[in-house]
């Protein structure tokens, strides 16, 4: 019994201590600020690539770190393709950790860490994704907290490899867009920045259109269900010996649809 709780408790303690150290030393503030993070990556020298991967890993695990800033800084310092490669590696490792962490610690612990209401909201989004293609859409479209979504996905029926492939492909367009914006700003190429920003806005508009369409489709199914229940009527009660009460006939029996004819007196 003690061994069963050793790994979850150890992970929670490690995560709490790590966040506390990052906050106390000011690292959490520095990697959450665009200018400070760019200076940090530039000062990394040969280890800058590993530092970029570590920062992207942390921004997935610690959801309060804005991923747009870390991706922008990666593109600004390393360019489009190197910045995207380092960012993709870090995001994939962070997503795998979140998925595995949720399965190890369990749902009650995760509710205490990120909040029951927030996790319930994410559950409703995952509940509407009845197929892997629908879940792919959740990771693709903007507006949902992808980092917290990767925690909640740990309670789904997917394997970790299926989740990493699905989430990695879905998150790549937005990740590449943020990296390209950073690379464009560093080169002074604001035309590409405007083009990428326009694509991002189109994606956001597509998400809200999809969300409004889904909300409009749900109420149409509810009145039909209620009307069918009213027409069916209450279910007949059955006695303990398995017989129908006197004067009642089972639903669908031949005598139920025929009118009772009065006998001749």
Please give the full DSSP string across 47-97, using - where no structure is assigned.
GHHHHHHHHHHHHHHSTTS-HHHHHHHHHHHH-HHHHHHHHHHHHHHHHHH
Q: How confident is the model at residue 265 (pLDDT cuts 50, 70, 90)?
A: very low
Residue 133: strand, helix, or coil: helix
The pTM (predicted TM-score) of the whole model is: 0.68
Integer Cα distance of 88 and 83 in angstroms: 8
Cα dihedral 182, 185, 189, 191 in deg (nearest 10): 70
Cα–Cα distance, 82 to 216 (Å, whole number): 43
pLDDT in tens, 82-116: 999 999 999 999 999 999 988 888 877 777 777 77
Mean pLDDT calculated for residue range 224-230: 51
Range with top average pLDDT, 150-154, 181-185, 235-239: 181-185
CB 190 within 8 A of CB 102: no
């Amino acid at each position: 019994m003690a061994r069963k709780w050793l790994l979850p408790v150890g992970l929670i303690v490690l995560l709490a201590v790590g966040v506390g150290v990052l906050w106390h030393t000011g690292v959490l503030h520095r990697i959450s600020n665009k200018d400070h993070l760019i200076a940090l990556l530039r000062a990394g020298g040969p280890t800058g690539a590993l530092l970029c991967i570590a920062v992207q890993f942390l921004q997935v695990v610690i959801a309060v770190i804005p991923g747009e800033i870390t991706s922008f800084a990666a593109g600004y310092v390393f360019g489009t393709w190197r910045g995207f490669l380092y960012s993709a590696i870090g995001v994939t490792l962070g997503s795998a950790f979140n998925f595995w962490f949720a399965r190890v610690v369990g749902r009650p612990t995760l509710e205490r860490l990120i909040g029951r209401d927030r996790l319930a909201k994410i559950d409703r989004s995952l509940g509407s994704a009845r197929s892997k293609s629908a879940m792919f859409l959740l990771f693709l479209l903007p507006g949902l907290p992808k980092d917290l979504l990767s925690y909640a996905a740990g309670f789904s029926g997917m394997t970790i490899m299926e989740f990493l492939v699905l989430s990695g492909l879905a998150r790549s367009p937005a990740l590449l867009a943020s990296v390209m914006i950073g690379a464009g700003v560093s080169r002074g190429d604001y035309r590409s920045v405007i083009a990428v920003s326009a694509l991002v806005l189109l994606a956001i508009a597509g998400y809200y259109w999809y969300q409004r369409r889904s909300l409009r489709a749900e109420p149409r199914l509810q009145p039909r269900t209620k009307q069918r229940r009213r027409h069916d009527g209450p279910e007949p009660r059955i006695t303990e010996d398995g017989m129908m009460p006197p004067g009642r006939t089972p639903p669908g029996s031949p005598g139920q649809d025929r009118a009772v004819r009065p006998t001749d007196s």
